[in-house]
Chain A
């Protein structure tokens, strides 16, 4: 689904590389987590997948190629805006727009030019149900999204991401600001979303990675140290660095 082939990445026109020769194949309709110490490049790699790093002018992929669904995403023909329709993103700091719950979810569809009320209504309901939020908000769709709890706001952002029916959802520490119950709800949601979407999630919680992901990639100082089945990574990793990191040892 996502094929990362020997990718190196720099934020300063190639002077320093924050990702070094990363190769990684992310399978379809599975949950893949990225773990590793702060600053190792997890978010950077995640943002390479939907070309969010384009926003940093001096940034560049110095070597390698990323294919999404067989298409080289950095080739001239690919329009990043078009690409991001297929790749939704959910951030650590949940960021609903200061609009109604309904408008938040309908936002992406309206941008695509969809105006028909019935189509929008259906898409909003489907997405809110998909994000396991419908029952909690169905009677207050016109209320401001900012009146929701943190956990609800994060699920709303997930609803907004899935409304445009992407193929892939990227999540950067989606639960780090949530309490255990809200976290459990988002985790359960991720497990359900796997039926339909390919999910890549960055997390600092080893427990979370081991609970929800099928595959886990461990990064250290811009390098991919180990990538494999989540069970193997957490029960019997093959690299000492991985073992040290997940078991909380001095590296």
Chain B
């Protein structure tokens, strides 16, 4: 993605700022997801609370990026790859905001979980979490680098994510069917597993936004990427 080289240097600057803010928002979102998981596994209440607080900054950045995008469209009337960068950034931002919301949901449930006794089964969500986090990291990287190749990689990771999600949620529902003192914890873990899966799904949305940005092709809902 070339941003330099517009005759109006102000236009270059506006696009660069937009991209930088989107990357900042992505970094914060990633940190929130990681902190939510750490809060749960390390049983750290203050980290859980921090996720909830930090989400505010993500929300503010989303608003800022939306405003800046509108400004750019009104002021510079971008075309072609410039236009796609602006539209894609708005969509990426929207997906990031939802990912960060899921991090908050995870943190809130984790606060409840760590109030009760520590159980080994918490570790069962780890594979799904690691997969979702990797997908998010790669999705952010493909936006930063404008790489269609990396984006396709993210899409190909979704099958394993589904697999890990199924394994974890099956184990928890099974536990729920047996009489247990910990049923509330298992119920919360079912929710958390679901949100982790959503983080991965939303990361594939970001990858699709990047593919649109780079190639002008819409491959959502089963479309195939053409050469």
* Interface residue ranges, A against B (CB under 8 Å): 206-207, 210, 234-237, 243-244, 246-250
Q: Separation in Å of the B78 CB from the closest CB of chain A?
A: 7
- Chain A, interface SS category: helix
Please tell me if B147 contacts chain A, counting CB pairs below 8 Å.
no
- Shortest B146–chain A CB gap in Å is 14
The answer, yes or no, to whether B84 is at the interface (CB within 8 Å) is yes
Flag if A210 contacts B79 (CB, 8 Å): yes
B216 proximal to A (CB < 8 A): yes
CA distance A67 to B76 in the complex (A): 39
Q: Who on chain A is nearest to B5 by CB?
A: A249
| A250 with B80: CB separation less than 8 A | no
Contacts of B83 in A (CB 8 A): 234-235
Q: A235-B216, A236-B216 are in contact. Are A247 and B8 (CB under 8 A)?
A: no
Distance in Å from the Cβ of B129 to the closest Cβ of chain A?
37
| Bound Cα distance from A246 to B79, whole angstroms | 7
Tell me if B74 counts as interface (CB < 8 A to partner A).
no
B123 within 8 A of A: no
Interface pair B7/A243, CB less than 8 Å apart: no
Task: Chain A residues near B79: list those with CB within 8 A.
Answer: 206, 210, 234-235, 246-247
Distance, CA A237 to CA B215, complexed state (A): 10
* Inter-subunit contact B81/A249 (CB<8 Å): no
| A234 to B216 alpha-carbon distance, docked (Å) | 11
Known: A234-B80, A236-B80, A243-B81. A249 touches B6 (CB 8 A): yes
B180 at interface by CB-CB < 8 Å: no
7 nearest interchain CB pairs?
A236-B216, A249-B5, A246-B79, A247-B82, A234-B79, A243-B80, A248-B7
> B183 an interface residue at 8 Å Cβ cutoff?
no
**In contact, B216 and A249 (Cβ under 8 angstroms):** no
**Bound CA–CA A249/B8 (angstroms):** 8
B80 near A237: Cβ-Cβ < 8 Å: yes
- B-side contacts of A244, CB under 8 Å: 5
Q: List 14 A-B contacts (CB under 8 A).
A: A207-B77, A210-B79, A234-B80, A235-B80, A235-B216, A243-B80, A243-B81, A244-B5, A247-B6, A247-B81, A247-B82, A248-B6, A248-B76, A250-B5
- Taking the closest CB of chain A, its distance from the CB of B216, in whole angstroms, is 4
A102 to chain B, nearest CB (A): 40
Cβ distance A207 to chain B, nearest Cβ, rounded Å = 6
| Contact call B77/A249, Cβ cutoff below 8 A | no
- In the complex, residue of chain A having the shortest beta-carbon distance to the beta carbon of B81: A243
> Complex: how many Å from CA A94 to CA B6?
33
Q: Given A234-B83, A235-B79, A236-B216, 5 more contacts at CB 8 Å?
A: A235-B80, A236-B80, A247-B80, A248-B7, A249-B6
Bound together, the chains give a CA A207 to CA B78 distance in angstroms of 10
User: What residues of chain B lie closer than 8 Å to A247, measured between beta carbons?
Assistant: 6, 78-82
Q: Is A235 within 8 A of B84, CB to CB? A: yes
A250 to B83, CA, bound (A): 17
Partner of B7, one of A206, A207, A235, A250: A250
